[in-house]
């Protein structure tokens, strides 16, 4: 007889009948009474539970059983329909009804159900912490009935751990809810600061400069203008047009650092003239602890091959502009693949300005491939020709698509820039006066391109008040002006005259040398060989053939030694900075009889020694002596060490050894440093003020490079002495030294002349060394070239005067900066970094010793710290050491010399512990695993607040969508006495956090803290609503303004194309030409139609808030920060 295999019993019949079935599985749907949980847990071999869902409507409350493949399975339903009468049936004869539906519900819910916990103390999803507090707060994932009790799997920050029931304590409430925070006792400044710093670093804020104090550079506020331009703009494109010597390389490095703190930069490419590639490698390594590879086209071909194979290769390198623009095959491969580059930096970008050149075509490709694109150029761009337009067109073709439109866009800029300058504190005008200034736009031919825009009306309405603008209104005005100004978001230019800094005076002195007859004869013999070769070729000899002559002028004893060795390759190998990869051509030179005569006197060295002794007697203790040749440096070292402590530094000296020499020189451990340009690359000698050019480069930029190692911001002396060995009868003295004096190379920086000289140097050298000129003709040629250079300099000054249209907004970007850093706490301070590292060392071992008088301290690692670093997601960069090398030193306990101060790190070559350092990134990664345990309610004291006052401050993360996305920390402060808001207090806590001036406040909270918090929420809601309204209005106007600007640009192009078509038809031109222009007209009209559709969606804006922390704040007496900010 076949038995029933479907059964149902209502709740009042209990579970005895089910026990007799010995079910294999049982599914509990809904909640079971606590008194029944232990019984239910024994009803089947495996018991699971699942929350009720919509399927439960098909069932009744009670217990179901059904037989499958010889085994019984059960479902206990506590949240279905009303109980029904008991029921039985055979599945073979039953097609519908709740007995059949029970099996369907079981099959749907069983796979996702959790193990049933019986009478467990903690349920799935409960928040718990360990009794010891060591493990932090976690969420129960599963309760496991084992050995008569329960164990629990707990999700602790992504890691599943098992605990006994007695080891856990229930956490009432949600640790992410401010109400939960306020139910806990407040913590002190250390723990609250840690939470706020973690938030700043894990949620990069729009108005915070993460690049500040993250590089080994002296803080200069103006160098952060480009960073802020990139952050506040929406195109990711920028031309940095600062004058020579203001640190454009550093500015580009800061942009790189800022962007990498906000998102991963896996592919960064620097494109620079060949002569600057080594400089980029050295500067990025020395200043930013960034390893930049010098790339060849074949390296990029390998990169393309990996892309084609489906890999995602990284790229961090610098490539020569000349090599890349000529690598047609590689560029074609890359263009086919259209690689995504996170950041591209082009140095000396004026080389791209000629639209017909291969360099310009390369610029077009780079623009297409890059998310962020930065051009650097010190060359003044004449607004009257196509230079500036061509570069802007490369940067942002969509916005700068037509030359005629560009000229129209520029004219109103001067008015807008004047208004922008008037917003600064210095000479700030009243808002009504600014309205009158804006009215000048009505008188300009192209003023309507601005005044017809809705964002212009919004700007005028902001100025339509009879009171000073507040901080937020000035910020809104700046944003509106930046968007109205066609170049405001894509160009920045700083002039030296705008940078307040004490400049050292250069004083050039000659060390006069009179050669003996034998010495003069030796040089003349080499000179005669040189000129005979020149006449044979009817052209000045190239770089390689110059070397024997330049070596003879540099040091006759070194030259004689090379001749005696009779190895032509030696001439080439002794050059420390070759400019051409060719072998030296010295055919016939080694057989000149006069060169075989041994000379007993070195008049040049004798005069040098005499002058050096005078310098020492005058109290100048350290001297740098430059030479182009390693053999000269070695010869001088051998002789000078009899009188001075001497070290040598050239391109053959390994970089670690150079850094050690630098430290010793800076510490005053020796007196004379003999070096070459390559040996000094990327190093600063601002503590030294005596330089000797033992030989003189035939290139003025090389001279400037030498002097620039001393004459830089931070030079410690009022005067720099530049000694030149003056040897009449040599090309160096008679031609180049004469020219350099005439154009002022020794007395002042060649500044704006540098790019012009670089462009024209080859022609100048050929003119001056033409073998057909006699001595008198050569002197006249020197004068002619000098006059031409001076004329170009005057033209540059006139060009500067016409560039008021280029800039004006940039000063607003750094308003509020102090001499030591950004204002209003807009940075990650040293105290914040220190706190993160101390937390890391507390977790994983490691020690931080006390700092010495220079701010340098030792960090000693541990095995746990090293192992965690190796297994972490922390990448390379931010340290002089590779990650593996750093981990090895930490594991071995090798002390690392570190500092929080950038200038100290640069001066003493110590590890700079900034937000970019691997240890800081590791600390953040460790905290990421403990976010629920970060304390978010504290009581702190801040210097400068009114005595006796106490406030409650809520801190929220505000995220704004729209055209310009923003992420900010909003602090809402409520006076506990008056219950009124006080915005200054909110700013004060964030400033004190960055500056390391937060201290512990009273830990006893007010009795009505929850009520005050609710009042703060009311004020926050008002700010939220009003800010969103204003930003929505501004965003709509900005988007509409851009639409109209783009439409205006296309209207002019359409009008021009129609005129061309009309003329073509009138002239009866062929149909193919007419069709081509008709096609262009259709394309322009289609683009105009699409623009509004494309940009209209960006008019929508919203602001979302996420609670970060709550703080009680009171006044504190000012106390020194445990770390200075550097």
Picking from 61, 45, 50, the residue whose alpha carbon sits closest to that of residue 12 is 61
Fold of domain 224-400:
Rossmann fold (3.40.50)
Please tell me the distance from the alpha carbon of residue 614 to that of residue 1079, in angstroms, as a whole number. Answer: 79
Please name the residues in contact with 660: beta carbons below 8 A apart, sequence gap of 6 or more. none
pLDDT of residue 912 exceeding 60, the answer is: yes
* Mean pLDDT for the stretch of residues 1064-1072: 82
For 1086, the token pair is 């289609």
Q: Tell me the range of 153-157, 631-635, 1035-1039 where mean pLDDT is highest.
A: 631-635
β partners of residue 715: none
Could you read off the pLDDT of 369-407 as tens digits, one per residue? 999 999 998 765 554 557 888 898 898 887 777 777 777
Question: What are the backbone dihedrals phi and psi of residue 66, each rounded to the nearest 5 degrees, phi first?
Answer: -150, 145
Boundaries of every domain in the chain: 6-115, 127-172, 189-205+826-930, 224-400, 402-453+472-493+806-811, 505-727, 937-1116
Q: What's the pLDDT at 552?
A: 86
The helix (run of H) or strand (run of E) holding residue 552 is helix 543-554
Whether 224-400 and 505-727 share one fold: the answer is: yes
Q: What is the spatial distance between Cα 9 and Cα 16, in angstroms, rounded to a whole number? A: 11
Q: Which two tokens stand for residue 691?
A: 């330089």
What pLDDT shows up at residue 610? 95
Instruction: Give the pLDDT confidence score for residue 815 in this predicted structure.
Output: 57
Tell me the three state secondary structure of residue 15.
coil
C-alpha dihedral, 310 to 315 to 318 to 323, nearest 10°: -10
Cα–Cα distance for residue pair 265/257, rounded to 1 Å = 10
Supply the mean pLDDT for the chain.
Answer: 83
Class (C level, CATH) for 505-727: alpha beta
Q: Which residues contact 47 (CB under 8 A, 6 or more apart)?
A: 25, 26, 27, 28, 40, 41, 115, 116
In this structure, what DSSP letter does residue 732 have? Answer: I
Query: 842-870, pLDDT tens digit by residue?
Result: 989 999 999 999 999 999 999 999 999 99
Average pLDDT, integer, range 674-683? 73
Cα dihedral 1044, 1046, 1049, 1055 sign: negative
3-state secondary structure of 541: coil
**Distance between CA atoms of residues 366 and 394, nearest Å:** 9
Tens digits of per-residue pLDDT, 867-903?
999 999 898 888 989 999 999 999 999 999 999 999 8
For residues 29 and 6, the answer to whether their CB atoms sit within 8 Å is no
Q: Is the pTM of this model over 0.85?
A: no
833 pLDDT above the threshold of 90: yes
CA dihedral over 300, 303, 307, 308, signed as positive or negative: positive
- Nearest to 828, CA basis, from 699, 944, 757, 924: 924
Q: What is the pLDDT of residue 543?
A: 46
Question: Mean pLDDT, to the nearest integer, of 1017-1024?
Answer: 95
pLDDT of residue 717: 80
Q: pLDDT at residue 805 above 50?
A: no
Which residue stretches of 752-872 are H helix?
Answer: 753-768, 775-801, 810-813, 830-844, 863-871
Residue 1022 half-sphere exposure toward CB, CA atoms < 13 A: 7
Cα 356 to Cα 391: distance, rounded to the nearest angstrom: 13
pLDDT (average), residues 319-326: 93
979-988: per-residue pLDDT in tens?
A: 999 988 888 8
- For residue 683, count other CB atoms closer than 10 A to its CB: 20
Are 235 and 490 in contact by the 8 Å Cβ rule? The answer is yes
Q: Which residues contact 417 (CB under 8 A, 6 or more apart)?
A: 485, 804, 805, 807, 808, 809
Question: Worst-scoring range by mean pLDDT, 532-536, 548-552, 681-685?
Answer: 681-685
- What does the pLDDT average to over 570-589? 51
**Share of residues in the chain with pLDDT > 90 (%):** 36
Distances (CA, A) of 262 to 83, 206, 256, 429, 662: 59, 10, 10, 37, 34
Mean pLDDT, residues 225-253: 85
pLDDT value, residue 580:
40
Instruction: Identify the H or E element spanning 969.
Output: strand 966-975
pLDDT for 148 beyond 70: no
Counting every residue written for the chain, the total comes to 1126
Of 1062, 983, 969, the closest CA to residue 1019 belongs to 983
Q: Which of 918, 935, 901 is nearest to 837 (CA)?
A: 918
Kindly report which listed range (171-185, 390-404, 411-425, 633-647) carries the lowest average pLDDT score. 411-425
Separation CA 351–CA 759 (nearest Å)? 9
**Cα 251 versus chain centre, distance:** 9
pLDDT tier at 798, thresholds 50, 70, 90: very low
Average pLDDT estimate for 218-245: 83
Q: What is the dihedral of CA 1083, 1088, 1089, 1093, to 10 degrees?
A: 120
Residue with the larger pLDDT of the pair 662 and 544: 662
The per-residue pLDDT for range 156-190, each reduced to its tens digit, is 766 788 998 888 988 877 788 898 899 888 999 99
Residue 268, CA atoms < 13 Å, CB-side half-sphere: 22
**Whether 91 contacts 100, CB under 8 Å:** yes
Section 658-663 average pLDDT = 82
What pLDDT shows up at residue 820?
66
* Among 829, 849, 841, residue whose Cα is nearest residue 901: 829
């Amino acid at each position: 007889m076949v038995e029933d295999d479907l059964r149902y019993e209502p709740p009042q019949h209990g579970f005895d009948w089910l026990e007799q079935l010995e079910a294999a599985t049982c599914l509990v749907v809904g909640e079971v009474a606590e008194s029944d949980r232990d019984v239910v847990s024994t009803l089947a071999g495996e018991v699971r539970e699942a929350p009720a869902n919509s399927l439960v409507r098909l069932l009744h409350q009670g217990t179901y059983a059904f037989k499958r493949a010889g085994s019984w399975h059960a479902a206990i339903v506590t949240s279905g329909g009303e109980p029904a009468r008991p029921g039985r049936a055979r599945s073979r004869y039953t097609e519908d009804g709740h007995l059949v539906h029970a099996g369907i519900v079981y099959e749907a819910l069983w796979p996702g159900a959790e193990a049933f916990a019986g009478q467990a103390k903690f349920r799935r999803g409960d928040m718990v912490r360990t009794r010891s507090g060591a493990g932090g707060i976690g969420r129960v994932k599963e309760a496991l009935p084992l050995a008569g009790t329960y164990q629990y799997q707990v999700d602790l920050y992504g890691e599943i751990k098992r605990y006994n029931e007695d080891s856990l304590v229930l956490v009432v409430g949600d640790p992410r809810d401010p109400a939960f925070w306020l139910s806990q006792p407040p913590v002190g400044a250390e723990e609250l600061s840690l939470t706020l710093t973690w938030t700043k670093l894990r949620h990069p804020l729009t108005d915070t400069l993460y690049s500040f104090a993250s590089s080994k550079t002296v803080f200069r506020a103006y160098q952060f203008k480009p960073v802020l331009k990139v952050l506040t703009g929406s195109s990711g494109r920028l031309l940095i047009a600062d004058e020579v010597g203001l640190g454009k390389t550093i500015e580009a490095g800061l942009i790189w650092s800022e962007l990498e703190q906000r998102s991963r930069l896996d592919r960064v490419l620097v494109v620079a003239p060949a002569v600057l590639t080594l400089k980029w490698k050295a500067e990025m390594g020395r200043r930013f602890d960034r390893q930049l590879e010098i790339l060849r086209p074949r390296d990029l071909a390998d990169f393309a091959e990996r892309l084609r194979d489906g890999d995602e290769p990284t790229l961090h390198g610098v490539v020569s502009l000349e090599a890349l623009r000529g690598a047609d095959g590689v560029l074609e491969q890359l263009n086919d693949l259209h690689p995504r580059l996170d950041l591209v930096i082009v140095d000396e970008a004026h080389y791209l300005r000629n639209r017909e050149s291969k360099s310009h075509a390369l610029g077009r490709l780079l623009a297409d491939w890059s998310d962020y694109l930065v051009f650097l150029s010190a060359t003044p761009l004449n607004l009257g020709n196509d230079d500036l337009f061509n570069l802007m067109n490369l940067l942002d073709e969509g916005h700068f698509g037509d030359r005629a439109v560009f000229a129209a866009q520029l004219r109103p800029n001067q008015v807008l820039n004047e208004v922008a300058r008037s917003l600064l504190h210095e000479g700030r005008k009243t808002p009504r006066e600014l309205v009158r200034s804006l009215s000048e736009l009505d008188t300009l031919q192209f003023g309507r391109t601005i005044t017809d825009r809705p964002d212009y009306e919004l700007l005028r309405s902001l100025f339509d008040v009879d009171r000073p603008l507040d901080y937020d209104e000035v910020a809104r005005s700046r944003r509106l002006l930046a968007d109205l100004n066609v170049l405001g978001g894509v160009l920045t230019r700083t002039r030296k005259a705008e940078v307040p800094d004490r400049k050292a005076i250069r004083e050039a002195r000659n060390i006069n040398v009179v050669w003996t007859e034998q010495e003069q004869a030796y040089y003349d013999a080499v000179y005669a060989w040189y000129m005979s070769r020149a006449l044979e070729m009817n052209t000045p000899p190239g770089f390689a053939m110059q070397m024997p002559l330049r070596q003879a002028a540099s040091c006759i004893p070194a030259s004689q030694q090379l001749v005696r060795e009779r190895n032509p390759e030696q001439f080439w190998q002794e050059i420390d900075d070759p400019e051409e990869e060719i072998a030296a051509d010295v055919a016939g030179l080694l057989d000149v009889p006069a060169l075989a005569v041994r000379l007993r006197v070195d008049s040049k060295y004798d005069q040098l020694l005499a002058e050096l002794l005078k310098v020492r007697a005058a109290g100048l203790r350290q001297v740098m002596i430059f030479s182009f040749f390693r053999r000269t440096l070695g010869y001088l070292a051998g002789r000078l060490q009899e009188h001075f402590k001497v070290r040598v530094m050239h391109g053959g000296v390994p970089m670690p050894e150079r850094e050690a020499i630098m430290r010793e020189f800076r510490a005053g451990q020796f007196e004379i440093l003999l070096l070459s340009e390559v040996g000094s690359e990327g190093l600063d000698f601002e503590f030294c003020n005596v330089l000797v050019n033992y030989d003189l480069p035939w290139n003025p930029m090389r001279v400037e490079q030498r002097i620039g190692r001393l004459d830089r911001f931070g030079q410690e002396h009022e005067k720099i002495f530049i000694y030149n060995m003056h040897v009449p009868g040599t090309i160096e003295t008679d031609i180049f030294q004469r020219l350099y004096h005439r154009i002022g190379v020794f007395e002042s920086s060649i500044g704006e002349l540098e790019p012009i000289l670089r462009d024209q140097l080859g022609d100048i050298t050929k003119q001056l060394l033409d073998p057909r000129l006699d001595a008198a003709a050569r002197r006249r040629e020197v004068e002619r070239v000098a006059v031409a250079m001076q004329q170009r300099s005057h033209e540059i000054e006139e060009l500067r005067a016409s560039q008021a249209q280029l800039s004006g907004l940039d000063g607003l970007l750094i308003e509020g900066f102090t001499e030591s850093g950004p204002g209003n706490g807009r940075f990650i301070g040293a105290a914040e970094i220190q706190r993160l590292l101390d937390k890391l060392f507390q977790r994983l071992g490691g020690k931080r010793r006390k700092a010495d008088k220079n701010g340098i301290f030792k960090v000693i690692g541990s095995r746990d710290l090293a192992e965690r670093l190796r297994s972490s997601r922390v990448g390379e960069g931010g340290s002089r050491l590779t990650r593996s090398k750093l981990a090895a030193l930490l594991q071995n306990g090798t002390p690392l010399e570190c500092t929080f101060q950038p200038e100290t790190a640069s001066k003493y070559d110590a590890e700079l512990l900034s937000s970019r350092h691997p240890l800081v990134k590791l600390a953040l990664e460790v905290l990421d695993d403990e976010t629920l345990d970060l304390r978010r309610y504290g009581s702190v004291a801040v210097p400068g607040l009114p005595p006796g006052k106490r406030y409650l401050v809520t801190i929220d993360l505000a995220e704004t969508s729209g055209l310009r996305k923003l992420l900010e920390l909003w602090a809402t402060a409520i006076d506990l006495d008056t219950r009124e808001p006080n915005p200054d207090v909110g700013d004060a806590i964030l400033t004190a956090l960055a500056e390391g001036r937060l201290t512990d406040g009273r830990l006893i909270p007010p009795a009505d803290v929850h009520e005050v918090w609710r009042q703060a929420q009311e004020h926050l809601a008002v700010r939220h609503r009003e800010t969103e309204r204003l930003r929505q209005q501004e965003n709509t106007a900005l988007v509409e303004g851009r639409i109209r600007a783009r439409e205006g640009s296309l209207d002019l192009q359409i009008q021009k194309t129609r005129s061309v078509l009309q003329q073509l038809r009138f002239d009866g031109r062929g149909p193919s030409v007419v069709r081509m222009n008709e096609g262009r007209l259709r394309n322009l009209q289609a683009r105009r139609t699409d623009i509004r559709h494309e940009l209209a969606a960006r008019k929508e804006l919203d602001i979302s808030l996420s609670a970060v922390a709550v703080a009680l704040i009171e006044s504190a007496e000012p106390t020194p920060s445990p770390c200075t900010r550097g």
